[in-house]
Amino acid sequence: MADAEIGLIGLGVMGSNLALNIAEKGNRIAVFNRTASKTHEFHQDAGPLRDRIVPCDTIEALAAAIRPPRPVIIMVQAGAAVDEQIAHLRGVLSANDIMIDAGNANFRDTMRRFGELEGSGLTFIGMGVSGGEEGARHGPSIMVGGAEASWKRVEKVLTAIAAKYEGEPCAAWLGPDGAGHFVKTIHNGIEYADMQMIAEIYGILRDGLGMAPKEIGQVFARWNEGRLDSYLIEITARVLEADDPETGKPMVDMILDRAGQKGTGKWSVIEAQQLGVPATTIEAAVAARVLSSLKDERVAAQAVYGGGVAPFPGGRDEVLADLELALFAGKVAAYAQGFAVMAEASRAFGWNLPLPTIAKIWRAGCIIRSQFLGTLAKAFSGGPVANLLMTPAFVQMMQEANPALRRIVARSAEAGLPVPALSSALGYFDSYRLGRGTSNLIQAQRDFFGAHGFERIDSSGAHHGPWGSGAA
């Protein structure tokens, strides 16, 4: 019988948990994995949810099990594997059926797939899913891009499985074609920045103040009760309080300082550059991960230059208060950059992205959920906003917090402690708030060596300087 509400391909960690979540919320779901034994093993392990799961040995059986128009979630590795599944599905699906790519896809791949399916009768959704394994199982944040009619077909299922914030589902249709995956990309860029700044604060506490992991964990746990209340701060405290079961030492001290990445942070930086929007804090975070991978070079450089850290100046209570405010200011800068990128992408691609809605669906389920997202949603609800930093609520926040960020960046430089993301956040803020910058000199230089011309402050049109024969 074709009575399943939805289908799913790919029973890895994320796919399995998403399928269980869908079944748990009362929906019948057909599932398929390339390895048939894994499909049946998943079905057997589903326990009381088994009756709502239809295990399928073939793509044809999967399609036959779903009521039309048939939505099928694809949960496989981003890239060629998705294209392979789309090719298989095109052979068994019919007009108005919906393929849903729920992986961390590059939004440009998503837009290409929309183009390739044009005229086929089939429809497509690019769906960003945030929250990791836990979110997939119990409630992620869901960002949907595609035709609104396709969203309406799956809206009931997706809002049922999404995280809830005060009863409101953290799932929404954000616009056509690649809108959902683009928003997820920028979400991950902000996530990179947030994680990097937290790591920089941890470095100051560890190396500048000489604090042990559990003591640092207590600091983060205390901060999580105030303005920094967020998922990443919460798990940072828990990570720092954990011990390694093999050695009994703090778990964090047993982990190699070499960070991985899967591409979404890099994509967010590339797209910001393509759109001409500064996202310096996100850029610094991505670069910091790349630098972290150069472990052997860093060890060799320490042997040459020394790795000593000077004592961090200031009394402990004063420094801790400044660190909390500095991290908050950096977080605001990262969000301001991310939302500025999304606003420009919305204009460039004709998406009409609902920025207040994006902030709302990030309030629960996703990795960057934070207590100030409600305030952020209100800031964008009053009409067009040039930059988050110009909204009254965030002006007040940054006026209070930016002096602490300035002190922490300055003292970190003196102590020899790297804070690239926090430094970039401060540089972004200072550049943004400076009415007269220094690019007039850059324009003069460009005109000198390339006759590019410049604007004058006292007249319109293009002008050239009196550089004479020295210009080349």
Positions marked active-site: 184, 191
Q: Say which residue the tokens 């040995």 belong to.
A: 57
Q: How far is the C-alpha of 161 from the C-alpha of 136, rounded, in Å?
A: 8
Q: What is the 3-state secondary structure (H, E, C) of the chain?
A: CCCECEEEECCCHHHHHHHHHHHHCCCCEEEECCCHHHHHHHHHHCHHHHHHEEEECCHHHHHHHECCCCEEEECCCCCHHHHHHHHHHHCCCCCCCEEEECCCCCHHHHHHHHHHHCCCCCEEEEEEEECHHHHHHHCCEEEEEECHHHHHHHHHHHHHHCCEECCEECEEEEECCCHHHHHHHHHHHHHHHHHHHHHHHHHHHHHHCCCCHHHHHHHHHHHCCCCCCEHHHHHHHHHHHCECCCCCCEHHHHCCCCCCCCCHHHHHHHHHHHHCCCCHHHHHHHHHHHHHCCHHHHHHHHHHHCCCCCCCCCCHHHHHHHHHHHHHHHHHHHHHHHHHHHHHHHHHHCCCCCHHHHHHHCCCCCCCCECCHHHHHHHHHCCCCCCHHHCHHHHHHHHHHHHHHHHHHHHHHHHCCCCHHHHHHHHHHHHHHCCCCCHHHHHHHHHHHHCCCECCCCCCCCECCCCHHHCC
Q: Which of 230, 435, 166, 209 is nearest to 317 (CA)?
A: 209
Q: Which two tokens stand for residue 215?
A: 């003591």
d(CA 92, CA 64): 9
**Does the CA dihedral 218-219-223-228 come out positive or negative?**
negative
Q: Please, are residues 151 and 374 in contact by the beta-carbon 8 Å criterion?
A: no
Nearest one of 139, 331, 147, 111 to 229, comparing CA atoms:
331
* Cα–Cα distance, 49 to 456 (Å, whole number): 70
